[in-house]
Amino acid sequence: MLRAERGELVSLLRELSEGEWETASLCAGWRVRDVVAHLQTDTVSLVTYLGFTVRGRSVDGINGLLVREFGARPTEELVDRLDGPGGWFSRVAPTLALADMFVHQQDIRRPLGRPREVPAERLAAVLSHPDPFAFPRRYTRGLRFVATDLEWSRGDGPEIRGPGEALALVMVGRPAALADLEGDGVPVLRERLG
């Protein structure tokens, strides 16, 4: 699933114009280019990444270093680096790598108006294992999430219903997907997403 997700992202990136690379993504303060720079985590050696962790000292700090290191590189180089089976991150934490790749692909696709069909099995995997570094519990606690386009639900409390893609995005803090959701839990979630 991760290989397919990566392949779809690489295909999309190869189609983008230079202007699209500069478009604001759903990640606050990051352009499409910056999101792709962040995804270079899986293209650097583990030793290099550990160097980033020492210098960055936090998830946000590491991400900032990745964006500074790779953000100005030519787009073709960034895509070529992603075009492969993946590196240490994909091997050590494939479920986490899939969630990260999925959300960041949507961070790029939504602002560019480039929707896609995601296989139900892949979407269910992402919904069942959201990126823990996005701290999903702060958004999901005490709420019930129900996908309307695949058989998947989780949690207890006021309900939030909608497409799995939108659920996956709000579970990791993307308010842009709120408009696609309905249910008694939406006002609570909207407040949490602030």
Say what the pLDDT of residue 63 is: 80
pLDDT digits (tens, 9 = 90+) for 66-84: 888 888 999 999 999 999 8
112 — pLDDT class (breaks 50, 70, 90): very high
pLDDT digits (tens, 9 = 90+) for 14-33: 999 999 999 999 999 999 99
Q: How far does Cα 107 stand from its chain's mean position?
A: 6
Which of 117, 103, 98 minimizes the C-alpha distance to 177? 103
pLDDT digits (tens, 9 = 90+) for 130-159: 999 899 999 999 999 999 999 999 999 999
49 — pLDDT class (breaks 50, 70, 90): confident
Q: What percent of the chain has pLDDT over 70?
A: 100
Q: What is the CB-side half-sphere exposure of residue 49 using CA atoms within 13 A?
A: 14
Pairing relationship of beta strands 159-162 and 144-147 according to DSSP bridges: parallel
The structure's pTM equals: 0.93
Residue position matching structure tokens 């969630």: 99
Task: Please determine, for residue 54, whether its predicted confidence score (pLDDT) is greater than 80.
Answer: no
d(CA 125, CA 95): 8
Q: How far does Cα 24 stand from its chain's mean position?
A: 15
What's the mean pLDDT when you consider all of the chain? 94
56 — pLDDT class (breaks 50, 70, 90): confident
Task: Please determine, for residue 177, whether its predicted confidence score (pLDDT) is greater than 90.
Answer: yes
Say what the pLDDT of residue 158 is: 98
